[in-house]
Chain A
Amino acid sequence: MWSLADKTLNSRFLIGTALYPSPAIMQASIKASGSEVVTVSLRRQNAGQGGGDDFWQLLKSLKLNILPNTAGCNSVKEAITTAQMARELFGTNWIKLEVVGDEYNLQPDPFGLLEATKELINQGFEVFPYCTDDLVLCQKLAEAGCRILMPWGSPIGTGKGLLNPYALKTIRERMPELTLIVDAGIGLPSHAAQALEMGYDGVLLNTAVAQANDPVQMAEAFKYSLMAGRAAFEAGAVQEKNLAHPSTPTLGTPFWHQETLA
């Protein structure tokens, strides 16, 4: 059990609803994941693109916590307006805040993100900022009122895992009181486990499950890796060393003779 904003959850898995081969597979994957938080977006209705009422009904039937995103917003204004629309549409003050800084790596614009965060916190939102792994940015987001931070592992959809574990560990160590979730770039269950072994509170991913050959099985694999990562963190893992230390006792080693002095 852990706290995310004002909710108590069992699962540390936050999962996206996009890119699945079908609505049925999306539903089965989310079930298999054990996740209690799903991300969604707002878009213009487009015939054949999915979404709309059918998606809305399916979403409601899952009875999970909804985390709307501001994906695709290129400016502070767009992000704020989208968040306000999301609050009315989905009936939640939770918002995964994305302010896109670059169209190729889709990284957050840290400056726009901070500005939008301040305004949305003022308007009573619970902001889940999708941010880079920059410590100072994270500190400023926390100062602005964020209880939750979501630094990237690597760019969205790349599956590269945790590209800068040093930076992520630094954020964890320097901000022990924040809820930290690695969001973006996760590809394998081992990446998710790595995040939780470091003490991160959860992981948010979409592509790694939705685009796997078997999304349902992959969702389950991630469920187990998140459980393993958290259990390992709580168990207190051994420290990395440079020199070898034998595990087998050296006392009583056979075939050993004291060297005679010449």
Chain B
Amino acid sequence: MSTITVELNGETKDVELNLNLAQAIIEWGLSAQQFAIAVNENFIPQVQYTNTILQSGDRVELLVPMQGG
């Protein structure tokens, strides 16, 4: 099984080739949370998670609600 390297919130992660975002979220154990995602600084709507295949070097931002002023 070949893997590629992506970044999740600034940390390097190895994922299977041709994994889509929905699958990656499950693999990373994050599916229970409330979050929003951007890949390479572009917003990815939830409906597109299964259509979005991770590429080598992709920068994934997975953001959660946080305190703010």
Chain A contacts to B: CB under 8 angstroms? 16-20, 26, 39-45, 49-53, 55-56, 59, 68-69, 71, 77-78, 81-82, 84-86, 88-90, 156-157, 205-207
Contact between chains at A78 and B41 (CB < 8 Å): yes
| Best-surrounded residue of A52, A56, A85, A205 (most CB of chain B within 10 A) | A85
Chain B interface category by residue count = 20 to 34
| Best-surrounded residue of A16, A20, A53, A59 (most CB of chain B within 10 A) | A53
Which of B42, B46, B64, B69 sits near A42, CB closer than 8 Å?
B64
Additional 11 contacts, C-beta under 8 A, given A53-B33, A88-B45: A39-B68, A41-B66, A42-B36, A51-B66, A52-B34, A55-B67, A68-B68, A69-B68, A81-B41, A88-B36, A156-B69
* Interface majority SS (helix, strand, loop, mixed), chain A: mixed
Contact between chains at B36 and A89 (CB < 8 Å): yes
The answer for the CA separation of A52 and B61 in the assembled complex, in Å, is 14
CB distance from A13 to the nearest CB of B (A): 13
Contact between chains at B69 and A18 (CB < 8 Å): yes
What are 24 residue pairs bridging A and B, where the CB atoms are less than 8 Å apart in the complex? A16-B68, A20-B67, A26-B67, A39-B68, A39-B69, A41-B65, A42-B63, A45-B33, A45-B35, A51-B67, A52-B65, A53-B34, A53-B64, A56-B64, A71-B68, A78-B41, A81-B42, A84-B43, A85-B36, A86-B36, A88-B45, A89-B36, A89-B64, A207-B69
The answer for the CA separation of A52 and B9 in the assembled complex, in Å, is 15
B17 within 8 A of A: no
* Contacts A44-B10, A85-B36, A89-B35 given; does A56 touch B65 at CB 8 Å: yes
Contacts of A206 in B (CB 8 A): 69
CB distance from B45 to the nearest CB of A (A): 6
